[in-house]
Structure 1
Amino acid sequence: MTNHKVKIFLLFNLLIPVGFFIFALTFMPIKQVFQFDSSDEGIELIKAILYLDGFSMYTQVWNDQPPLSTVILGFWLNLFGKSIYSARLLTLTYATMLVWSFSQTLRIYFGNLLAIIGTLMLIISCNFLRLSVSVMIGLPSLAMVMLSIFILSLYKQNFPHKNSQLLILLSGVLFGFSLQIKLFTAFIIPLILFDIIIFQVNKYNRQQLNWKVLLTPLLWLAACLIVSLLIAITWNSLNYEQLLQARLSEKTITAFLAKNSQILTLSFLLQDFDYLLLTILASTVIIQKKQWKNSFPVIWLVISFIVLMNHRPVWYHHYLLMSIPLTWLATYGLQLSLDFFRQNKWYSKFKLANFSQITIPYLAAVLIIFAIFVTPIKLGVILVENHKYLEQNQNHIQLVDILLKHKKYTNWLFTDYPIYAFYSGLPVPPEIAVLSHIRIESNSITAEQLISVLQMYRPEQVLLCKSQTIQQYLSNYLNQNYVQNYKNSLCTHFLLKGIP
């Protein structure tokens, strides 16, 4: 291996991933912020704690997500300590895997320089850094998808190497892991199968085309589904009622307005408007020139946009489904500008007189300069958001202190905000560990079920925060059996009568 190749190898396999890890660790207040998300961090943490305590998912712990993330997080917390810092380091590790595999994929398609620039664009894209240190499952699931796509890219690059089928199997296995972290990546499966088929068709001449062309995509699909099924069977997650019915039921659909989902989905595209402009340019070229080998991110972006426009509810973390292909295509847009920047005195071309003779490289160059100017604004927005989270810390800490004050008298804590249970080290009844927005607003859990939990566990402390619905459900029961102890802008705290 030549000295140049060694430097490139170290750049992409050490400097970029480690550099990102250190940058995120330094730039994001990973230790100081009480919570980065309104509820998901607490839900993921408390599920992992209950799993470590021996409670079974789907039978004892109601859970509308696949099990793999909870299992891995539980193992990680058991190994490195049950702290928010430790848990966020795990998410950052997933994010580093995503950044590494994304940079390697771009390197295969566009070369070293554009891969570096494209990776930097992904890192500073809207919400990426925040999601890189939040204890949530969307980014880990997409990290597995990106690893799968990178391995698939290696397969294409090395075809027809004798070990290429092993790469197909590994790619399918990694996607199976993604499905068992979060099911929202399932729509990418047909895209990958289509991409493999197109690749196979292009590699063989018409005389060689036969049913064997389907063997490779079928092998990938088999590896994906078998691994996913084995994980589901191992952790008893083949539960239609919890995994799918709660999300697809009529109650859920009517509980959230379609208009809100559509507005949020459209806003995603506007938050990285510079990338969107480059993406439109790149997609136009791909379609006009029929560059089907570059069409995968186009199809991914279009389908994810359609899916989110018709899905209820849509949350901010769903943007990753769009930002990854968006950045991929924006990088292709950068490539289109290379001919322009290779000209002597290219900067002198930016004149109104030249506007009538505009070319695609010229337009791409203008968009790149625009993207450079808005980059500091994006970083500034992240800093402002970090400050906002830090300002909220004091109210959160006051509530944890109140819980700790009565901890020695407490066997169970009933709360719709489990992040407080994690910080205070208090157990919650497994039936209400996941009181997500979807479960509450769709009435997937009833007043009778909640009161039954209170009667069964007789929790010494009750902390209600996010849901007026739950407070209405429990109002009479709490008035009869509990005393309101504290209230602030975030939550209301109750003590069981007789508790000092």
Structure 2
Amino acid sequence: MNPNRIRKLILGTQFSYIDFIIPLLLAGSILLLAPIAADCEFNTDEGINLMKAVLYGQGFALYQDIWNDQPPVFTIALSFWMSLFGNTLVSARLMTWALSFLSIFSFYQLIRLQFGRMSAFFGALFLINSYQFVDLSVSVMIGLPAIALMLFVVYLLVSSHSAFTHKGQQTRRLAAGFVLALSLQTKLFVSFLMPIILILVLPLGRNFRIQVDRKSLSQLLQFFLLVLSTYIFISLTSQSLNSYDQLVATHVSAREVLGYQHKTLFFMLRKGWLNDYYLYILAGLGCFFAVRSWKLFTLVPIVWILGFLVTFYNHYPVRLHYYTLLAIPMSWLAAMAVYHSTVMISNYIANRFAASNNDRSTIVTSKSDRLYGYLFNVLASLTVLLTIYSISLEIHRSVVYQHSFCEQPIDAEIVSRLREYPKGVDRSWLLTDRPIYAFYAGLLLPPETAVFSQKRISVGSLDSKEIIRILEEYKPEQVLIGRFKELLLNDYYFQKYLQDNYLKTPIGEELEYYTRVDRRSDRGIRNERYL
């Protein structure tokens, strides 16, 4: 093969069909690693998100009927997805996987534009193998989808820069503006990247000076108007603008909740280091090369990391799945280190050949020598990096298949018991703090309890008085308590209400199961003494 073609294939930056196939294969490997069909919750948020989507599909309105402390896009998208592909856990997880593919594709293209295919390939490998990325790629949670959309925005803005293309620049910027609004309406924790978005949108010239002219100002105005109008449109149609208590107050109040203080940035960084120590080291080397080159796009991952550290330094809880926000720029810098190391090794080998031929004034001109240098360089990089990757991959695979990420298994016997219970005339309701069981059994939750979380209970927006009011209003045929069993069953009023209106049925050690009994003829009358 022609050495130039080999070099173009490995180090080329022009888009080719292979640049779609490689990210697809990498994303496909996740399906082999992750237990996507496992009957367990990777996180209790899975059950919450699934039931919010089911209730939304049944006609209940977000924020008005369905209590929801997150922006609306993921719930709406998941409801639409399941209406097309079925209300199953695997179907919902495949939607998250599709968005994971979008993140891998966007990240790969970002690296390819700057450093070529080989560095892009390794950068994507680093990202996939980072702590919890595989698990989050098939978890019905909103974090990774929001990150994937934001990463796609960064790719669109970088690719629209004149350094990479002169066609369709404004079209890409406008598309990025629309997707940016979707990302912010999926989960707001990606908003710390707005300074990077601003840097990429501004018409910067050499030495990072803003080049102001009528055309650039017009394009900038169009971009932000599109972001703002799309964001407001989604807020108006979902009625989230009037939901301050759910969207903002709950999260602000949760900062003072006892027990969250240990979930800090440093705790997350320590967990990340234990799993991705090699990525930290390579990212450090990448920082050296980025500062040395002092170019706009090579400094973006450093700004990203600094923004993340500043934003979450005094924030809690910093959950472990936030780590992906840090793994992305670290993988970016690691890919940069791979590229510059490759170039340095290649130049060193070429100079050695030149020296051996008594020609120190020029780089190797022989095609065979260049080919040998490139192949030696690639093989050396592959050997070292794939060794690191294979070791960490084996560790990760063993963790995945031991289901250490499965917080709670789903008991098939309990699901069967819930399904077999006689259904109500109109709708069959189940009150539970484990909404995944309602999803599996095909039952509905009272929409006010779709989010039955520690955060909500701790801040007082879901106390025993509110739960009793909901029980009186919906009169669910079954009650299943698990996560907050000790807290709820030790409450006198809640326990008294269950004793008067429900019959306890043995079902296991971890869950308490109750079925409704009608002992009074005035069952439809509101029982005020519990409220």
TM-score (norm 1): 0.86
**Deviation (angstroms), 1:417:** 1.2
Query: Which of residues 243, 258, 261 is equivalent to 1:258?
Result: 261
Amino acid at match of 1:484: K
The whole-number CA distance in structure 1 between the counterparts of 2:419 and 2:209 is 71
Contact 1:34 1:389 in 2 (8 A): no
Contact 2:78 2:95 in 1 (8 A): yes
Write out per-residue CA displacement over residues 282-332 of structure 1, whole angstroms, 9 at most, x where no aligned residue: 223333553343111111112212323322212221111111111111111
Query: Which of residues 455, 458, 467 is equivalent to 2:472?
Result: 455
Equivalent position of 2:361 in the other structure: none
Q: Within the alignment, does 1:399 sit opposite 2:404 as a pair?
A: no
3-state SS of 2:41 partner? coil
Amino acid at match of 2:89: I
Contact 2:415 2:440 in 1 (8 A): yes
3-state SS of 2:160 partner? helix
Equivalent position of 1:19 in the other structure: 25
Contact 2:158 2:200 in 1 (8 A): no
The whole-number CA distance in structure 2 between the counterparts of 1:307 and 1:180 is 19
**Deviation (angstroms), 1:18:** 2.8
Write out per-residue CA displacement over residues 449-482 of structure 1, whole angstroms, 9 at most, x where no aligned residue: 1110011111111111112333434223223322
Q: Within the alignment, does 1:267 sit opposite 2:270 as a pair?
A: yes
Identical residues among aligned pairs (%): 31
**Deviation (angstroms), 1:337:** 1.2
Query: Which of residues 113, 135, 144 is equivalent to 2:140?
Result: 135
Amino acid at match of 1:222: L
Residues 419/480 of structure 1: CA separation in 2 closer, same or farther (3 Å cut): same
**Deviation (angstroms), 1:97:** 1.1
For structure 1, the 5+ residue unaligned runs are 347-361
Q: Which moved more, 1:134-143 or 1:390-399?
A: 390-399
Write out per-residue CA displacement over residues 102-134 of structure 1, whole angstroms, 9 at most, x where no aligned residue: 111111111111111111111111111111111
Amino acid at match of 1:305: L
The whole-number CA distance in structure 1 between the counterparts of 2:214 and 2:337 is 36
- Within-5 A mapping of 1:332-371: 332-342=336-346, 343-344=348-349, 369=384
Amino acid at match of 1:414: L
Equivalent position of 1:69 in the other structure: 74
Q: Within the alignment, does 1:36 sit opposite 2:42 as a pair?
A: yes
Equivalent position of 1:155 in the other structure: 160
The whole-number CA distance in structure 2 between the counterparts of 1:391 and 1:152 is 37
For structure 2, the 5+ residue unaligned runs are 352-376, 520-531
Equivalent position of 1:497 in the other structure: 517
Query: Which of residues 440, 463, 468 is equivalent to 2:457?
Result: 440
Q: Within the alignment, does 1:464 sit opposite 2:481 as a pair?
A: yes
3-state SS of 1:260 partner? coil
Contact 1:286 1:292 in 2 (8 A): no
Residues 112/413 of structure 1: CA separation in 2 closer, same or farther (3 Å cut): same
**Deviation (angstroms), 1:218:** 4.2
Equivalent position of 2:396 in the other structure: 381
Q: Which moved more, 1:178-187 or 1:484-493?
A: 484-493
3-state SS of 1:187 partner? helix
**Deviation (angstroms), 1:53:** 0.5
3-state SS of 1:313 partner? coil
Residues 395/303 of structure 1: CA separation in 2 closer, same or farther (3 Å cut): same
Q: Within the alignment, does 1:304 sit opposite 2:311 as a pair?
A: no
Equivalent position of 2:122 in the other structure: 117
Q: Within the alignment, does 1:225 sit opposite 2:228 as a pair?
A: yes
Q: Within the alignment, does 1:190 sit opposite 2:195 as a pair?
A: yes
Q: Alignment length, in residue pairs?
A: 476
Write out per-residue CA displacement over residues 51-73 of structure 1, whole angstroms, 9 at most, x where no aligned residue: 11100110010111111111111
**Deviation (angstroms), 1:7:** 11
Write out per-residue CA displacement over residues 143-185 of structure 1, whole angstroms, 9 at most, x where no aligned residue: 1111111110111146783632222111111111101111111
Q: Within the alignment, does 1:175 sit opposite 2:180 as a pair?
A: yes
3-state SS of 1:253 partner? coil
Residues 372/215 of structure 1: CA separation in 2 closer, same or farther (3 Å cut): farther
- Within-5 A mapping of 1:241-252: 241-249=245-253, 251-252=254-255
Amino acid at match of 1:230: F
Residues 438/72 of structure 1: CA separation in 2 closer, same or farther (3 Å cut): same
**Deviation (angstroms), 1:247:** 0.4
Write out per-residue CA displacement over residues 170-220 of structure 1, whole angstroms, 9 at most, x where no aligned residue: 1111111101111111111122103433x52339988x6568765554443
3-state SS of 2:36 partner? coil
Q: Within the alignment, does 1:323 sit opposite 2:327 as a pair?
A: yes
The whole-number CA distance in structure 1 between the counterparts of 2:264 and 2:500 is 40
Write out per-residue CA displacement over residues 375-431 of structure 1, whole angstroms, 9 at most, x where no aligned residue: 423443333233226998866223212212325368210001111100000111001
**Deviation (angstroms), 1:276:** 0.8
Amino acid at match of 2:488: I
CA RMSD of aligned residues (A): 3.1
Write out per-residue CA displacement over residues 5-39 of structure 1, whole angstroms, 9 at most, x where no aligned residue: 999612111x22331343222222211332211x1
The whole-number CA distance in structure 1 between the counterparts of 2:175 and 2:100 is 20
Amino acid at match of 2:225: A
3-state SS of 1:326 partner? helix
Contact 1:65 1:181 in 2 (8 A): yes
Equivalent position of 2:523 in the other structure: none
Equivalent position of 1:422 in the other structure: 439
Q: Which moved more, 1:278-287 or 1:170-179?
A: 278-287
- Whose helix proportion is higher, 1 or 2? 1
Contact 1:252 1:441 in 2 (8 A): no
Equivalent position of 1:46 in the other structure: 51
Contact 2:13 2:114 in 1 (8 A): no
Contact 1:274 1:371 in 2 (8 A): no
Contact 2:34 2:400 in 1 (8 A): no
3-state SS of 1:97 partner? helix
Equivalent position of 1:475 in the other structure: 495
TM-score (norm 2): 0.82
The whole-number CA distance in structure 2 between the counterparts of 1:298 and 1:259 is 27
The whole-number CA distance in structure 2 between the counterparts of 1:212 and 1:8 is 28
The whole-number CA distance in structure 1 between the counterparts of 2:167 and 2:389 is 47
Contact 2:342 2:381 in 1 (8 A): no
Amino acid at match of 1:415: T
